[in-house]
């Protein structure tokens, strides 16, 4: 990463830490929501930005993760175990789902995952004995770790921020490891990667499964944040929103999803004065952006930085975007 990018990330990190000092409880709640969405969008970015596959199941994985966590905690399982279980369950489900879909190429993953999201919603709504049906599950406790209770809004925010930091570092490390470089190869030039002996299908599947497990982990943070979950939170709409977040932030950029999640959280607040029309504005924004900068906000920033800097360092692959073409 170049120096400017590192500086921006460091500034953003400091900002997230001091943020609660300036916010009312509602603002802190929104910030925690941003954390949850960022984790899920970061996972989706692996599928979309790196493997170039459209997944409409990320919302369903957030749901599976949230329900897994809630059910296990109700059964008396400690939070850390429930958290890991949520990630594992989603990894396995993602693998099983992606395997048939990725056998056939192109846009099929989009349709299979769309079907999957609807199926998950139906199961969550209909299997009352397990999921509470339309009433959902309530009274999900916020965890106490090593004697530190996260019940308060601020402490839960720091708790979720801690999880986000660990997961971000883990994903970053994974993408930098020799093994993870394959994902970059997948993004930059799949045909070439294939000809160099990389099993692209396996890596695409891996990217999808890991992305799904991040979705599950985001659900594991979401459940104790809202303390009440119901099937309607995890419909196709959530999946579509997460997809738009990744795109708006900049798919293929490591920090794109964070920016996209921020826009998704802040826009309804900023546009409160136009009431119901904020989604209209958002939709128009996405369409305009797709026409002029398919690489999202970070793509715009990158273009801007390149245009103004007299001398620029050779771009490194992690922050360099590629137009996703078929």
Partner 1 sequence: MTSFIQLLVSGLATGAIYALIAVGFTLLWQTSQTINFAQGEFVMLPAFFILEAMYLGAPFWLAILIGIALSAVFLGILFKLIIVDPMLKHGVLPLVISTIALSLFMKEMVKNLYSSNAQPFPALAPPIDLHFFGAVISTQSLVVLGVAISVVLALHLLLHKTRLGRAMQATAQNPTLARILGIPVRRMVLYTFLINAVLCAIASILISPIYLAKFINGETLGVAAFLAAIIGGFNQVRGAIFGGFILGILDNLSAAYLSSTYRGAFPLLILIAVIMWRPQGLLGRVEERTV
In angstroms, what CA-CA distances link 87 with 38, 46, 95, 216, 252? 15, 15, 12, 5, 22
The token pair that represents 304 in the structure block: 């801007």
Q: How far is CA 79 from the centre of its chain?
A: 21
In the 8-state DSSP scheme, what is residue 91? Answer: H
The span of 31-39, 121-129, 168-176, 196-204 binding partner 1 (CB under 8 A) equals 121-129
Least Cα distance to 69 among 241, 281, 216 occurs for: 216
Among residues 4, 23, 115, 226, which is the contact residue for partner 1, using CB under 8 A?
Answer: 115
Contact criterion met (CB below 8 Å) for 227 and 140: yes
* Helices and strands (H and E) in the chain: how many: 14, 4
> Is 130 an interacting residue with respect to partner 1 (CB under 8 A)?
no
> What is the spatial distance between Cα 55 and Cα 212, in angstroms, rounded to a whole number?
10
The span of 174-182, 199-207, 226-234, 290-298 binding partner 1 (CB under 8 A) equals 290-298
> Is 152 an interacting residue with respect to partner 1 (CB under 8 A)?
no
Nearer to partner 1, 169 or 288 (CB): 288
Nearer to partner 1, 121 or 157 (CB): 121
The neighbouring-strand residues paired with 137 are: 229
The span of 119-127, 137-145, 156-164, 214-222 binding partner 1 (CB under 8 A) equals 119-127
> Is 93 an interacting residue with respect to partner 1 (CB under 8 A)?
no
Residues 6+ apart with CB under 8 A from 311: none
Among residues 222, 259, 282, 319, which is the contact residue for partner 1, using CB under 8 A?
Answer: 282
* Min dist. Cβ of residue 225 to partner 1 (A): 25
Within residues 186-215, the interface with partner 1 by CB under 8 A covers none
* Min dist. Cβ of residue 149 to partner 1 (A): 40
Phi/psi for 167 (5° steps) reads: -65, -40
The span of 38-46, 63-71, 96-104, 181-189 binding partner 1 (CB under 8 A) equals 96-104
Phi/psi for 85 (5° steps) reads: -60, -40
Contact criterion met (CB below 8 Å) for 231 and 124: yes
Nearer to partner 1, 17 or 284 (CB): 284
Binding site for partner 1 (CB under 8 A): 52, 54, 100-101, 103-104, 107-108, 110-112, 114-116, 118-119, 122, 125-126, 236, 240, 243-244, 247, 276-277, 279-280, 282-284, 286-287, 290-291, 294, 323-326
């Amino acid at each position: 990463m170049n120096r400017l990018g590192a500086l921006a990330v460091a500034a953003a990190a400091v900002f997230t830490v001091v943020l609660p000092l300036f916010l009312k409880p509602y603002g802190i709640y929104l910030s925690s929501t941003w954390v949850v969405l960022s984790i899920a969008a970061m996972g989706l970015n692996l599928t979309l930005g790196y493997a170039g596959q459209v997944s409409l199941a990320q919302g369903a994985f957030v749901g599976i993760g949230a329900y897994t966590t809630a059910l296990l905690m109700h059964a008396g399982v400690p939070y850390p175990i429930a958290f890991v279980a949520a990630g594992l369950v989603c990894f396995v489900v993602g693998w099983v789902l992606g395997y048939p879909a990725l056998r056939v190429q192109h846009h099929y993953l989009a349709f299979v995952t769309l079907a999957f999201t609807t199926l998950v919603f139906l199961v969550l709504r209909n299997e009352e004995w397990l999921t509470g049906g339309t009433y959902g599950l309530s009274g999900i406790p916020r965890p106490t770790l090593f004697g530190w209770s996260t019940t308060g809004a601020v402490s839960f925010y720091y708790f979720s921020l801690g999880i986000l930091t660990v997961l971000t570092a883990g994903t970053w490390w994974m993408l930098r490891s020799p093994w993870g470089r394959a994902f970059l190869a997948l993004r930059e030039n799949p045909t070439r990667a294939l000809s160099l002996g990389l099993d692209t299908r396996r890596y695409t599947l891996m990217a999808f499964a890991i992305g799904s497990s991040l979705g599950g982990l985001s659900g594991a943070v979401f459940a104790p944040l809202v303390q009440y979950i119901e099937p309607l939170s995890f419909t196709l709409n959530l999946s579509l929103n997460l997809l738009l977040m990744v795109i708006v932030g900049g798919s293929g950029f490591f920090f794109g999803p964070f920016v996209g999640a921020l826009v998704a959280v802040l826009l309804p607040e900023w546009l409160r004065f136009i009431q119901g029309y904020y989604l209209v504005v958002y939709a128009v924004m996405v369409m305009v952006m797709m026409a002029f900068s398919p690489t999202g906000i970070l793509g715009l920033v990158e273009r801007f930085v390149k245009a103004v800097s007299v001398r620029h360092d050779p771009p490194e692959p992690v922050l360099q975007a590629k137009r996703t073409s078929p």
